[in-house]
Structure 1
Amino acid sequence: MNTEYSPDHPAADCILFECVAGSRAYGTANAASDEDIRGLFVLPAASYLDLAAPPPQISDARNNIVYYSLRRCIELLSAANPSLLELLYMPPDCVRRREPEMAELERSRELFISRRCADTHIGYAFSQIRKARGQNKWINQPKPAEPPQKEDYCHLVLRERFSVAGAPFRPQPLRGSGVDLAECHAARLEHAREAYRLYHYGPAARGVFRGDVIACEPIPADDEQIRFIGLLLYNEHAWKQALIDHQNYWTWRRERNAARWQQQENGELDYDAKNLMHTIRLLLSGKSILERGAPLVRVEGEALQLLCDIRTGRYRYEEIMQMAQDIVADCEQLKPRAALPEETDPAAASALLRRLTLHWEHRCR
Structure 2
Amino acid sequence: MTIERLQQQREYLLLECISGSRAYNLHLPTSDTDLKGIYILPQPELYGMTYTDQVANATNDEVYFEIKRFLELLEKNNPNILELLSTTEGNQLYRHPLMDLIRPEDFLSRLCLDTFAGYAKTQIKKSRGLHKKMNQTFPETRKTVPEFCYVVAGSRSMPLLEWLHENKLAAADCGLSKIDHFRDAYALYHPQQFAGEVPFKGICSGDAANDVQLSTIPAGVEPLTVLYFNKDAYTVYCKDFAAWWEWVALRNDERYRHNQALGAGYDTKHMMHTFRLLTMAEEIAKYREVRVYRHDRDFLLRIRQGAFTYDELLEMAAAKIEQMEQLYAVADLPEHPDPQLAGKLLVSIREKFYGQKK
Q: How does 1:50-129 map to 2 (within 5 A)?
A: 57=54, 59=56, 63-98=60-95, 103=99, 107-129=102-124
In the TM superposition, what is the alpha-carbon distance from 1:342 to its structure 2 partner? 1.1
3-state DSSP of counterpart to 1:346: coil
3-state DSSP of counterpart to 1:77: helix
Distance 1:337 1:239, change over 3 A: closer
In the TM superposition, what is the alpha-carbon distance from 1:100 to its structure 2 partner? 6.2
Q: Distance in 2 between matches of 1:75 and 1:224?
A: 73
Question: Residue 345 of structure 1: which of 338, 341, 348 is its match?
Answer: 338
Question: Residue 37 of structure 1: which of 35, 38, 56 is its match?
Answer: 35
In the TM superposition, what is the alpha-carbon distance from 1:312 to its structure 2 partner? 3.2
Distance 1:78 1:244, change over 3 A: farther
Question: Residue 149 of structure 2: which of 148, 155, 159 is its match?
Answer: 155
Q: Distance in 1 between matches of 2:59 and 2:272?
A: 21
In the TM superposition, what is the alpha-carbon distance from 1:58 to its structure 2 partner? 5.0
In the TM superposition, what is the alpha-carbon distance from 1:272 to its structure 2 partner? 3.6
Instruction: Return the index of the structure with the highest Cα Rg.
Output: 2
Q: Distance in 2 between matches of 1:228 and 1:310?
A: 59
**How big is each residue's C-alpha offset from its partner over 1:277-325, in whole Å with a ceiling of 9 and x where there is no partner?**
222221221122122212110123xx22322333334455566556545
In the TM superposition, what is the alpha-carbon distance from 1:26 to its structure 2 partner? 0.6
Distance 1:155 1:29, change over 3 A: same
Q: Does 1:172 align with 2:149?
A: no
In the TM superposition, what is the alpha-carbon distance from 1:133 to its structure 2 partner? 3.4
Match of 2:271 in 1: 276
What is the TM-score when the length of structure 1 is the normalising length? 0.71
Q: Distance in 2 between matches of 1:268 and 1:282?
A: 24
188-197 vs 337-346, which moves further: 188-197
Match of 2:134 in 1: 139
Q: Distance in 2 between matches of 1:186 and 1:271?
A: 44
3-state DSSP of counterpart to 2:149: strand
The amino acid of 1:36's aligned partner reads D
315-324 vs 83-92, which moves further: 315-324
CA contact (8 A) 1:195 1:231 kept: yes
In the TM superposition, what is the alpha-carbon distance from 1:252 to its structure 2 partner? 4.3
* Cα-Cα RMSD: 4.3
**How big is each residue's C-alpha offset from its partner over 1:139-162, in whole Å with a ceiling of 9 and x where there is no partner?**
332444x1533437631326xx3x
Question: Residue 305 of structure 1: which of 298, 322, 343 is its match?
Answer: 298
In the TM superposition, what is the alpha-carbon distance from 1:137 to its structure 2 partner? 3.2
Q: Does 1:231 align with 2:224?
A: no
CA contact (8 A) 1:200 1:229 kept: no
Q: Distance in 2 between matches of 1:328 and 1:73?
A: 27
CA contact (8 A) 1:147 1:246 kept: no
Q: Distance in 2 between matches of 1:191 and 1:126?
A: 43
What is the TM-score when the length of structure 2 is the normalising length? 0.72
Match of 1:246 in 2: 244
CA contact (8 A) 2:186 2:228 kept: yes
Match of 2:195 in 1: none
In the TM superposition, what is the alpha-carbon distance from 1:269 to its structure 2 partner? 3.6
Q: Distance in 2 between matches of 1:11 and 1:331?
A: 40
Q: How does 1:196-345 map to 2 (within 5 A)?
A: 205=201, 208-209=204-205, 213-214=210-211, 216=213, 219-220=215-216, 222=218, 225=221, 230-233=226-229, 234-235=231-232, 236-253=234-251, 256=252, 258=254, 260-262=255-257, 264-266=259-261, 268-300=263-295, 303-315=296-308, 320=313, 324=317, 327-328=320-321, 330-345=323-338
In the TM superposition, what is the alpha-carbon distance from 1:346 to its structure 2 partner? 3.4
Distance 1:196 1:266, change over 3 A: same
The amino acid of 1:298's aligned partner reads Y
In the TM superposition, what is the alpha-carbon distance from 1:120 to its structure 2 partner? 2.6
- Number of aligned residue pairs: 341
**How big is each residue's C-alpha offset from its partner over 1:37-69, in whole Å with a ceiling of 9 and x where there is no partner?**
33345565567x77xxx7765556654344445
**How big is each residue's C-alpha offset from its partner over 1:53-103, in whole Å with a ceiling of 9 and x where there is no partner?**
x776555665434444545443433332212210111123333444566x2
3-state DSSP of counterpart to 2:36: strand
In the TM superposition, what is the alpha-carbon distance from 1:276 to its structure 2 partner? 2.7
Q: Distance in 2 between matches of 1:224 and 1:56?
A: 72
CA contact (8 A) 1:150 1:239 kept: no
Q: Distance in 2 between matches of 1:329 and 1:271?
A: 23
The amino acid of 1:246's aligned partner reads W
Q: Distance in 2 between matches of 1:40 and 1:241?
A: 41
Q: Distance in 2 between matches of 1:46 and 1:175?
A: 73
CA contact (8 A) 1:24 1:35 kept: yes
3-state DSSP of counterpart to 2:118: helix
CA contact (8 A) 1:157 1:231 kept: yes
222-231 vs 17-26, which moves further: 222-231
3-state DSSP of counterpart to 1:243: helix
Unaligned stretches of 5+ residues in structure 2: 192-197
